[in-house]
Structure 1
Amino acid sequence: MPPALVSSPDDLVEYNVDGAEAVEKNPKPGYLERHIHSEIYKRFPAVNSVVHSHASDVLPYCVSGVPLKNTIHMAGFLGTNVPVWDASSHYPSDSKHDLLIRDNILGASLAAAFKPATSTGFIYSKVRSALPTQFGGASSEPKMEPDHAVVLLQGHGFTTVAHGIEEAVYQAIYTKEAAKAQTAALTILNAHTGYALEGKVDVESGGKIKSGHAKGEGGALKYLSDRECHDAWESISATLTRPWALWCRQVEVNPLYKNECPTGVD
């Protein structure tokens, strides 16, 4: 069900983490890709919120081979390496090759991509203790922590994980903003950067340039370092209540959304 059509607890369907089966015997139709969520929750008990998105600003980095790398301080959670998971290498023999995470096999494979053996895990998992307790800042066992906050899905979208809803929503929004910033920066850099041909002119050979080569003119795109990503996220993660309050207010005043929950029910 699209978010704007969710207005009361009756619109929600509760699933078991093990198997992603509905708790009720006769549930309403649910989303096919719930295995994304169930397998991540199963693998990382410390994770309490998962957001899956098909944001158009992020999709180019899911298909082009150009890595999504952090250029802005608001997206320190991205670290210096955002993995790209490809379903084509993990389809069960009897599964549709439609890029959808329609079973626990694909879901488990995607979940594993959040904790490969890389140094980037320092950035995301180590900063969890800096979060206020309402955002899941309590310490947990290292094995329960993912090494990456975001994983891209080849030709599909991205998934982000967090200890709480506020943090997960922030990461989803600023993954999109980081992608927009990087795309704009790459576009400007490509338009600005020129090339000059350098070399010696061989007069006897009719003015041909000898040992010529193209020299680029212009700067290079500056990405955040490991330390900058870590420290930026440590600072930003302590202020998540600010954007969260704004986003809640935007939903409250938007007539597209309705809240029919009883008073006092979150």
Structure 2
Amino acid sequence: MSKAETLLEDLVSASRILADQGICDAFGHVSVRNPDNPGTYFLSRARAPQLVTRQDIMEFTLDGRPVWDDERKPFLERFIHGSIYAARPDVHSVVHSHSRSVIPFSITPSKLRPVIHSCATIGHDVPVWDAQDVFGDTNLLVSSEAMGVDFAKSLGKGRSALMRGHGSTVVGATIREAVYTAVYLEVNADLQIKASALGPITFLTPAEIDRIQARLADGKPGEGYDRAWEYWCQNARVDSSA
């Protein structure tokens, strides 16, 4: 199996995992950059993540145009993915979701910050992008390339960003890293909300975040992202051998 085909199989698995873990419901999506052509990326047609199959995967240029005259209905918010890939050569996978514990941090002054070692991949800073600032009253969906570009600027060089009253987007150097970060963004939000009721929170320090990220990136077989991936694949009943 070619590298591209392996990634496409992982992309299907990622969709099922994100649904199984409650990160995506009927909405949300995950993409991967084309390893043979960095100017395109793969993303399912508009479909609930739990139902995505290999046949649903489409290829897009970075400005959101389907490749190969594919006329199937694409996700409206595909511009999130292409704009990030255009701005960040280091990013090879993107996850957009509306996981519920994260939303309060997009509509209040409280900043989402890592509180536990497994959540360090969300990054030092999790900015909040507000479509209202540039585009005025909208339906809050990233429905154009201009909105995608503006959001990518807000994300900057970070690993995750929130969208006011909407959801969040995370990135990774691999599909497994992006899925891991999406899952643990939700975990961190839930824990931070619970901890805030007990008193002041001791957050991870910047140096701790850097050390943990480096450790995960250098994980050996059976460690880090791969261990989590195998576990989630088992729960979602998808093949982890790809």
Once the two structures are superposed, what CA deviation does each residue of 1:167-194 show, in whole Å capped at 9, x if it has no partner?
00000000000101100101233xxxxx
What's 2:235 paired with? 250
Secondary structure of 2:94 counterpart: strand
What's 2:142 paired with? 101
What's 2:131 paired with? 87
Q: Distance in 2 between matches of 1:79 and 1:30?
A: 30
Q: How does the TM-score come out when normalised to structure 2?
A: 0.74
What's 1:135 paired with? none
In the alignment, which of 163, 180, 202 is matched to residue 173 of structure 2?
A: 163
Once the two structures are superposed, what CA deviation does each residue of 1:101-154 show, in whole Å capped at 9, x if it has no partner?
000111001111122xxxxxxxxxxxxxxxxxxxxxxxxxxxxxx2x1001111
Unmatched 5+ stretches in structure 1: 116-145, 190-219, 254-258
Shift of 1:229: 1.0
Give the CA RMSD over aligned residues: 1.8
Question: Any runs of at least 4 consecutive aligned residues in structure 1 with deviations exceeding 4 A, and if so which?
Answer: none
Secondary structure of 1:51 counterpart: strand
Unmatched 5+ stretches in structure 2: 1-46
In the alignment, which of 9, 15, 25 is matched to residue 69 of structure 2?
A: 25
| Greater C-alpha radius of gyration | 1
Once the two structures are superposed, what CA deviation does each residue of 1:226-248 show, in whole Å capped at 9, x if it has no partner?
11111122223322110011111
Q: Which amino acid aligns with 1:10?
A: Q
Tell me: CA distance 1:186–1:82, structure 2 relative to 1, closer, same or farther (3 Å).
same
With a CA cutoff of 8 Å and minimum separation of 6, indicate the structure with the bigger relative contact order: 1
In the alignment, which of 36, 46, 49 is matched to residue 90 of structure 2?
A: 46
CA contact (8 A) 2:58 2:70 kept: no
Once the two structures are superposed, what CA deviation does each residue of 1:185-235 show, in whole Å capped at 9, x if it has no partner?
01233xxxxxxxxxxxxxxxxxxxxxxxxxxxxxx2111111111112222
Tell me: CA distance 1:232–1:102, structure 2 relative to 1, closer, same or farther (3 Å).
same
Q: What is the number of residues matched between the two proteins?
A: 190
CA contact (8 A) 1:41 1:48 kept: yes
Q: Distance in 2 between matches of 1:25 and 1:78?
A: 36
